[in-house]
């Protein structure tokens, strides 16, 4: 009877499944187990599941079992690092998880010990863990090989569909099965197949025998012959139907530094995964594995020096590919530019020191969008290639390229590759039905003949299995499917660069916005604020210490250890807010430690500056340091809480001594009832708690079209997937405006500062806001304290401004992004929530309004409305995300001209890093300027000690897209040295002007 291809495939699967029941010739249970020193039996529940537990047992393989055909099979009820001790100093370790449960032996007698947790790979608790299985098994290798080969044929046939080769492949498989001399004796047959799905459905099975008979020698010989004949027929078919396309396989185990488990569990995951990878290399000379992230290697170096030494050996022989060049795989939307620099600087320096090489490939498969600042920084760090797959996750528009030049804000380019594997993305499988769609989806195949494919269980680690290695060997014989071989990612990009030199590849310019996971800009906003403060505290500490050194104090100390902690917490599931609560408890502690230490360094630097300034008779002096490249008005909060807002100013990167008694407030500050006014602004606060009017006095323009700082709660912030990650586009369909405040009162009316307090309540949450205007301020601050106790609701502030513009400006790392305010296209509409650093701005040619912040990232700009997301309340994976008290400030700033001429960035800088003030005595009124930059306006990234101890490093960037001359002058006794890269090495630069649009420039500063 004629069968369809689908029917023949079903029959092949059924007959192939039969073979699996004869894969094990015999088994031997391992009975003598202990759990934390107490006896435990197979099938028994764990006595407890707290923390890390330890199993132990001993076993001996029977003398008649060939050692190379004997396996240890374990299922202990969780994830484990298992140690097999064969005596005489011979040990081997493996990771045990649901995908790695069978292990080879190096000796017949073994002692087994484990470090185990009652968890599954994605952090899920096993609430009823049991010692499920523990046995030695004698594998029937011919059966194993044929069974795997037939499974691979079924997968290939399913993927090839109507391909002309399919009937021939099925013929070969069916012939192999028909050639078998297969057992049929009732008792052993029923016993061997008792675990088959269809047998388990039977009301009552007959009595089963233990260790039923295996294949006879003749039966086994028929299996071996069938396997060889089938492989031969496949090779013959391959000549007729050659393999089509080519994939370079890289073994991989994406390990999220923290996500659905805390970092301590990641440390265990690393050891489990890396031991497994090393065991595969020992048994397969072809296997290749890659692993990014300097943090992981540094941690393994500390936790397991022997494992680290073995990894270094495999790196040296080329089996293990160290990749990435960054400290971690960070989020790139939210870190400041200097943080991205340090990711590369400290990552590359660690890799070079430890492994003798820097990396040329940035490996970021899983981040939630990519800043346009990256290409320039990668190139300065010696990295010329970039890899991700995450842009394939965009829900609305398909990213158009998969082998392309990525062009950054400044025009720098890196060669980029994206593969589109529909079977678990970067956690791919060695299977024909994974290879075929990945190759089909590769759109650049007309330009380049190979795509990458990363394979191995990941996110929770684990990596490649022994079966995957065996699969690759078998698939070499298959017809029609893509060729796939183990290789190095570096070799792929070397070949791709050669193609790019000969052919014109497409270019993607600017940021790569992910049309998904937009809520990661807001979730866990408390940690986001701590991270912002840690970045700023470190940059400022280095700046103050450098100014002190240039003024005559001691050399600054390195803050690399603090930076490393900060960079660790920029990992793409920590900073975005998509992890469990335990992760944020760690992050809050670590970032708070960084801030405290950086503040201590700042105080020490201020004391050092005061100690080298000219002495005098000022008994009550203030030493004020401006840690930016912007001329600043004197706004400061002293340690005793006193607020000063004067008409004085402080030059960039300078220290100035003031007589405290002589300081007078800037004139013009008034606060009659519902109004805050100074010489620059006049704001009216309405009965609804919003800003009814905001007049820019210099121009006489009203900045608002409707009341600003309207607080809205959206109680249906309930995304269909990924609770902490996503904001669905329909969230705004149901909104509740908080326009009936509990109270409004004038609470400050001093000569330096005035403030109106507004209290709102939403269900179980309260929002207290202080509208603040200082005597000399050009912005209206909105100091906010939220006590949040509501779930799955989103709090936002909306400000309709009297501006018409088709685009809005969003600050990003080392520059800006122009985003549409309209929804003309699906690309425009998809950008309904997007990242901004310290400000967004909407401007006409002669006037604009900016929205500044000191701790927020999720923003919107639609029509004439500037929006900022303040707090969310997701319940997964942290049911208490954003619960409790949070403090932050945002501000409204009208200005003349566009944002860059109107001083928006400068005010945002001031909001995020106020002037630093210290009380001193016996000083003279004097000032000291460490550095002076004239010409094209630039912003400060860092002044820091050089990594090699040779002077200081000054790093600046052009923030607005301008170009022109730039002169840098150092204080007396110091000189500006050579231009350098972010790796602090001499920079070759062919450009004309001293600074180009969005360019990041660095120089050494040495004693003259």
Query: Are 344 and 361 contacting, i.e. CB atoms less than 8 angstroms apart?
Result: no
- 684 beta partners: 675, 693
The pairs formed by 161-167 with CB atoms below 8 angstroms and a separation of 24 or more are: 162/5, 163/241, 163/480, 164/241, 165/237, 165/240, 165/241, 165/479, 165/480, 166/5, 167/5
Label residue 948 exposed, middle or buried (CB < 10 Å: 0-12, 13-18, 19+). exposed
Residue (of 314, 326, 255) closest to 289 by Cα position: 314
Contacts of 803 (CB under 8 A, 6+ apart): 705, 842, 843, 844, 847, 848, 849, 864
Strands 403-407 and 507-509, sheet pairing? parallel
**Is 85 in the active site?**
no
Distance CA 861, CA 842 (A): 8
Residue (of 262, 886, 277, 301) closest to 571 by Cα position: 262
Distance CA 437, CA 439 (A): 5
Give φ, ψ of 589 to 5 degrees. -65, -50
Residues in the chain: 1008
Distance CA 722, CA 625 (A): 45
Contacts of 615 (CB under 8 A, 6+ apart): 922, 923, 924
Whole-Å CA distances, 438 to 86, 306, 368, 428, 658: 42, 38, 21, 10, 67
Distance CA 717, CA 757 (A): 28
Cα atoms found within 13 Å of the Cα of residue 603, Cβ hemisphere only: 8
- Cα 24 vs. chain centroid, distance in angstroms? 43
Q: How far apart are the first and last CA of the chain?
A: 94
Give φ, ψ of 424 to 5 degrees. 75, 20
Query: Are 979 and 920 contacting, i.e. CB atoms less than 8 angstroms apart?
Result: no
Label residue 379 exposed, middle or buried (CB < 10 Å: 0-12, 13-18, 19+). middle
Give φ, ψ of 948 to 5 degrees. -95, 5
Query: Are 366 and 376 contacting, i.e. CB atoms less than 8 angstroms apart?
Result: no
Residue (of 270, 237, 252, 278) closest to 91 by Cα position: 278
Contacts of 353 (CB under 8 A, 6+ apart): none
Query: Are 889 and 856 contacting, i.e. CB atoms less than 8 angstroms apart?
Result: no
Distance CA 699, CA 896 (A): 7
- 53 beta partners: 116
Query: Are 515 and 321 contacting, i.e. CB atoms less than 8 angstroms apart?
Result: no
Cα atoms found within 13 Å of the Cα of residue 119, Cβ hemisphere only: 22
Contacts of 399 (CB under 8 A, 6+ apart): 391, 392, 418, 512
Here the tokens at position 729 are 């586009």
Q: In 3-state terms, what secondary structure has residue 107?
A: coil
Here the tokens at position 5 are 């291809």
Distance CA 968, CA 935 (A): 9
User: Which residue among 140, 256, 304, 366 is the active-site one?
Assistant: 366
Q: What positions carry a catalytic annotation?
A: 366
């Amino acid at each position: 009877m004629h069968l369809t291809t689908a029917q023949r495939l079903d029959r092949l699967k059924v007959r192939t499944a039969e073979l699996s029941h004869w894969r094990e010739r015999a088994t031997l249970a391992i009975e003598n187990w202990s759990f934390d020193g107490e006896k435990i039996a197979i099938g028994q529940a764990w006595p407890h599941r707290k923390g890390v537990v330890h199993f132990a047992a001993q076993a001996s393989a029977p003398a008649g079992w060939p050692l190379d055909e004997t396996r240890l099979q374990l299922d202990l009820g969780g994830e484990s690092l298992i140690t097999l001790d064969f005596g005489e100093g011979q040990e081997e370790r493996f990771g045990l998880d649901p995908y790695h449960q069978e292990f080879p032996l190096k000796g017949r007698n073994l002692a087994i010990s484990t470090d185990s947790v009652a968890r599954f790979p994605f952090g899920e608790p096993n609430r009823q863990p049991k010692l499920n299985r523990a046995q030695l098994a004698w594998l029937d290798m011919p059966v194993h090989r044929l069974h795997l080969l037939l499974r691979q044929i079924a997968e290939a046939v399913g993927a090839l569909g109507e391909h002309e080769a399919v009937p021939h492949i099925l013929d070969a498989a069916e012939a192999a099965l028909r050639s078998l001399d297969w057992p049929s004796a009732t008792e052993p047959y029923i016993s061997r197949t008792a675990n088959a799905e269809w047998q388990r459905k039977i009301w009552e099975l007959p009595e089963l025998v233990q260790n039923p008979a295996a294949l006879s020698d003749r039966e086994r010989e028929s299996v071996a012959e069938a396997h060889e004949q089938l492989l031969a027929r496949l090779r013959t078919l391959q000549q007729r139907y050659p393999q089509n396309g080519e994939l370079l396989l890289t073994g991989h185990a994406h390990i999220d530094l923290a996500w659905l488990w805390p970092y301590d569990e990641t440390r265990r995951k690393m050891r489990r995964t890396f031991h497994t990878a090393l065991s595969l290399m020992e048994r397969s000379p072809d296997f290749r594995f890659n692993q990014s992230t300097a943090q992981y290697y540094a941690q393994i170096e500390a936790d397991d020096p022997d494992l680290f030494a073995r990894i270094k050996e495999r790196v040296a022989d080329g089996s293990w590919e160290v990749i990435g060049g960054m400290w971690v795989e960070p989020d790139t939307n939210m870190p400041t530019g200097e943080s991205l620099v340090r990711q590369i600087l400290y990552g590359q320096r660690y890799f070079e020191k430890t492994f003798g090489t820097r990396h040329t490939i940035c490996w970021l498969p899983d981040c939630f969008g990519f800043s346009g600042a990256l290409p320039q920084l990668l190139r300065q760090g010696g990295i010329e290639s970039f890899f991700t797959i995450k842009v394939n996750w965009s829900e609305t528009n398909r990213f158009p390229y998969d082998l392309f030049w990525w062009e950054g804000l400044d025009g720098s380019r890196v060669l980029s590759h994206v593969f589109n594997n529909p079977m678990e993305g970067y956690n791919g499988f060695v299977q024909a039905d994974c290879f075929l769609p990945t190759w089909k989806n590769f759109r650049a195949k007309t330009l380049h003949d190979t795509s990458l494919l990363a394979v191995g269980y990941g996110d929770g680690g684990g990596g490649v299995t022994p079966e995957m290695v065996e699969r690759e060997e078998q698939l070499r014989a298959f017809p029609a499917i893509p060729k796939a071989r183990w290789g190095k990612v570096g070799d792929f990009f070397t070949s791709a660069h050669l193609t790019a030199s000969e052919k014109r590849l497409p270019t993607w310019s600017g940021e790569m916005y992910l049309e998904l996971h937009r809520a990661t800009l807001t979730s866990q906003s408390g940690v986001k604020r701590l991270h912002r403060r840690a970045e700023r505290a470190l940059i400022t500490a280095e700046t103050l210490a450098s100014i002190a050194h240039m003024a005559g104090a001691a050399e600054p100390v390195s803050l690399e250890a603090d930076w490393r902690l900060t960079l660790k917490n920029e990992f793409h599931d920590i900073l975005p807010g998509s992890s469990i609560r335990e992760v944020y408890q760690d992050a809050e502690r670590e970032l708070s430690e960084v801030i405290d230490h950086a503040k201590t360094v700042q105080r020490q630097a201020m004391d050092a500056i005061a100690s080298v300034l000219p002495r005098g008779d000022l008994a009550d002096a203030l030493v004020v340091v401006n840690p930016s490249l912007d001329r600043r008005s004197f706004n400061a909060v002293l340690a005793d809480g006193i607020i000063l807002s004067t008409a004085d100013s402080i030059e960039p990167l300078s220290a100035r001594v003031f007589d405290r008694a002589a300081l007078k407030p800037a004139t013009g500050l008034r606060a009659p009832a519902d109004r805050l006014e100074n010489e620059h602004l006049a704001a009216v606060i309405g009965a609804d708690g919003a800003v009814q009017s905001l007049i820019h006095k210099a121009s006489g323009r009203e900045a608002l079209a409707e009341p600003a700082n309207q607080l809205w709660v959206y109680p249906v912030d309930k995304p269909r997937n990924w609770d902490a990650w996503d904001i669905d586009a329909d969230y705004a369909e149901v909104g509740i405006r908080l326009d009936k405040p509990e109270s409004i009162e004038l609470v400050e009316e001093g000569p330096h500062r005035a403030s109106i307090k507004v209290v709102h309540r939403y269900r179980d949450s309260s929002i207290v806001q202080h509208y603040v205007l200082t005597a000399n301020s050009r912005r209206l601050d909105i100091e906010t304290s939220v006590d949040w106790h509501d779930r799955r609701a989103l709090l936002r502030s909306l400000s309709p401004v009297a501006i018409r513009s088709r685009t809005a400006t969003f600050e990003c790392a080392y520059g800006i992004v122009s985003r549409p305010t309209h929804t003309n296209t699906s690309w425009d509409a998809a950008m309904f929530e997007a990242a901004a650093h310290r400000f967004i701005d909407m401007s006409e040619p002669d006037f604009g309004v900016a929205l500044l912040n000191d701790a927020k990232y999720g923003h919107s700009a639609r029509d004439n409305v500037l929006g900022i997301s303040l707090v969310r309340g997701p319940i997964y994976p942290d049911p208490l995300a954003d619960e409790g008290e949070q403090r932050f400030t945002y501000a409204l700033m009208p200005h003349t001209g566009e944002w860059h001429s109107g001083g928006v960035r400068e005010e945002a800088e001031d909001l995020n890093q106020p002037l630093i003030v210290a009380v001193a005595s016996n000083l003279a009124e004097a000032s000291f300027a460490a550095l002076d930059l004239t010409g094209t306006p630039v912003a400060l990234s860092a002044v820091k000690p050089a990594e090699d101890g040779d002077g200081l490093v000054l790093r600046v960037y052009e923030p607005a897209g301008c170009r022109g001359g730039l002169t840098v002058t150092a204080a007396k006794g110091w000189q500006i040295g050579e231009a350098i890269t972010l790796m602090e090495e001499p920079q070759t630069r062919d450009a004309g002007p001293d600074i180009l649009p969005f360019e990041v420039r660095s120089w050494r500063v040495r004693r003259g």
